[in-house]
Amino acid sequence: MLKILFSGGTGFLGSALVTRFLARNYEITLISNNIQKVHSKFGNTVNVLSHINELADDVVIDIIINLAGAPIFGAYWTVKRKAIIKQSRINLTQDLVAKLATLQTKPKLLISGSAIGYYGEQGDNNVDENTLVNHCFSEQLCADWENAALKAEEYGMRVCLIRTGLVLGRAGGFLQPMILPFKLGLGGRLGTGQQWMSWIHLNDWLAIVDKMIEDELMQGAYNATAPNPVRNQEFSKVLAHCFNKPAFLPIPSLFLKLLLGEMSELLLGSQRVLPKRLAELGFTFEYCDLASALDQVLGTDE
C-alpha cells in the first residue's frame, strides 16, 4: 500500500487525486492549515498535519505530491498579492524539501506542481519542454517553484514537475466561471480571440500523475496539456455549441486590461503548448478533441 503525503490536497486537482487514491486504499496524509475543510471533504479517511514539521523523522512516506498555492486568478495582482502567491508555493516547497533532510527514510518520488505559465507569452510558436521562456511574473513564479522542488534531488529523490495547462473538469477549474454566461448565450471570445489555449481534461491530468508514479524513468518537467491546443475564438465557439448558443459577445482586450491589470495576461496571453516528452513516452490521451472533452465535462454527451 502506497503512503502518500499531499500539500494542496483540498484544491480542485488535489481533491480529485486524493479521492482517486483513497479508492485504491492508499494511506493519505494531508498538510493543511484548515483541518475542518479536510474533514468536510474526506471525513476521517485521511491523516492531517497542520505543518510539515509535525512529520515524525522516522515516518515512512513513499511519495510526496506538492500542489499547494494561493489562487493565481481572482484577486488583483498588487505587490502584496504577488508576494502571497509566491510565498504560498515557493516557501512551502522549500519547507517540504528541508524536512526531507531529517527523514530517516527518504521518499522515492516528489511530484511538484507547476504551470505552462512557465513559458510566458509565446504567440503562435509551438512550445515544448525545451522552449526558451519569455520573462514575466508567471514565468518567474513557476521557475522559482520548480527550482525549489528540484532541490529534493540532492537527497536522492526522483522529482517530476507537472506543468499544467487549463484543466477541464466538473468540480472546478478555470471553466466554472464561464459556464453560466455561455449557457445564457452571453459568451464570446476574449480580446482578438487569436491567443492559443492549451487545455487538458482532468482524467488525462490524473493519468499523467499515475504515469509519473509508475514509470521510474520519468524525471524533470512534463507539459500536462492535450496535444491539440486551440485558439480562444475556437474554444469559445465549441463551448457555446455545447449549450446550443451563439458566441457573439466578445470582451475587448482593453476592458480586460483595465479590469484585471497585469493579471489579464492569463486570459490574453498565447501559449501553444505541446506534450512532447509525454508523446515520446507513448502516453495516450483519452481526450485529444476539445468538443468531446467539453461534452464529457458538461454532461452534454449523456
Query: Residue 302: what pLDDT?
Result: 46
pLDDT in tens, the chain (302 residues): 899 999 999 999 999 999 999 999 999 999 998 999 999 999 999 999 999 999 999 999 999 999 999 988 877 889 999 999 999 999 999 999 999 889 999 999 999 999 999 999 999 999 999 999 988 899 999 999 999 999 999 999 999 999 999 999 988 888 988 999 999 999 999 999 999 999 999 999 999 999 999 999 999 999 999 999 999 999 999 999 999 999 989 999 998 888 888 888 888 999 999 999 999 999 999 999 999 999 999 986 54
> What is the set of domains in the chain, with CATH numbers?
3-298 (3.40.50.720)
Cell of 299: 454532461
Residue 240 CA, chain-centre distance (Å), reads 24
Query: Residue 300: what pLDDT?
Result: 63
Q: Look at residues 271, 164, 79 and name the one whose alpha carbon lies nearest to residue 87.
A: 79
**Residue 28 exposed, middle or buried by CB count within 10 Å (0-12, 13-18, 19+):** buried
| Amino acid, res. 21 | F
Q: How many CB atoms are located within 10 Å of the residue 14 CB?
A: 21
Measured CA to CA, the distance from residue 191 to residue 267 in angstroms comes to 9
Q: Look at residues 131, 157, 135 and name the one whose alpha carbon lies nearest to residue 144.
A: 135
Report the sign of the C-alpha dihedral through residues 22, 27, 30, 34, in that order: positive
Give the relative orientation of helices 79-100 and 137-150 as an angle to the nearest 10 degrees: 10
State the DSSP string of 196-216: EE-EEEHHHHHHHHHHHHH-T
Query: Residue 174: what pLDDT?
Result: 87
Against a cut of 0.85, is the pTM above it?
Answer: yes
Cell of 204: 488525462
SS3 label, residue 217: coil
